[in-house]
Amino acid sequence: MKIRRKVPKPPRSKPPLYVIGFSSSPTLAELRTWFDLHYGGPLSFKDDPKRNEPDSSSSLMATHSPWSAWMLLSTPSVQAYAWQQRLEWRHTMCAAVGAVTATKSHSADVVLHAARLARGITVLTEGTAYDVTMHTYLNPSDWTDRPLSQFSVKDHVTVVHSEDAERQQDWFYTRGLSKFGLDEIEVFQPVGLPSHTVSEILLDIADELLRIGQSPTIGSTIALPALALSIHVVRHRTHPSADMPMILREITW
């Protein structure tokens, strides 16, 4: 008996990593040709096993080597309209791309694979991609394309600077670590300190946490020799957000 490899299912409860708006959807063949040309291929699609051929209007797995991402190349009109209203863009059609669950050692590769698919759809349609986690818009020329060996945290994680009225302090927090299955990190600083320095350090810490592959435990102190500092994890909390609650771990250094 032939043993069939189990294909990971799209996580239906999780939002996509990218939504791409456009006026005309590309075909699966066009996306496959573009991807194979840029990344060596082969890119393959697997749809519901009850179907004979993959269907761009249904959720499917897009696989390249050991990496897979779920993709909806043409969302239902109701979803497309909802994204159009939420993002306030002119696009009447859209696609969605998301990552599947991966091991800690492969999470960065899977997220990068999903980003490559989103980039391909954006370029082919001359549309606009929206990074759902980072709250960032990307036109075709905005993508930074890197090989797997040159992963950069800045392509996938950003630092937001805001004011905390309750504490009367500056609040810095990441957006993007959740793509990799990690909690976002936050830090509070007295008002007036250089914000650029704090943001850069927080990004460097996020990069190190991605290398470690797990969120630090509450009360722990973690030495980060590469940054010549140690971080202490103060607390864990859930912060309400317009899109979905953010799970945060406050740190100090």
Burial of 140 (C-beta count, 10 Å sphere; 0-12/13-18/19+): middle
The amino acid occupying position 172 is F
Measured distance CA(138)–CA(116) in Å, rounded: 13
Angle between helices 107-125 and 28-39 (to 10 degrees): 120
Sequence ranges of the domains in the chain: 18-151, 155-252
First to last CA, the chain: 57
Measured distance CA(59)–CA(81) in Å, rounded: 18
Beta bridge partner(s), residue 96: 19, 72
pLDDT of residue 163: 87
Q: Which two tokens stand for residue 173?
A: 């927090």
pLDDT of residue 1: 41
Beta bridge partner(s), residue 224: 229
In the chain, which residues have pLDDT < 50? Answer: 1-13, 48-53
Q: Distance of CA 90 to CAs 80, 127, 151, Å? A: 11, 10, 32
pLDDT of residue 50: 43
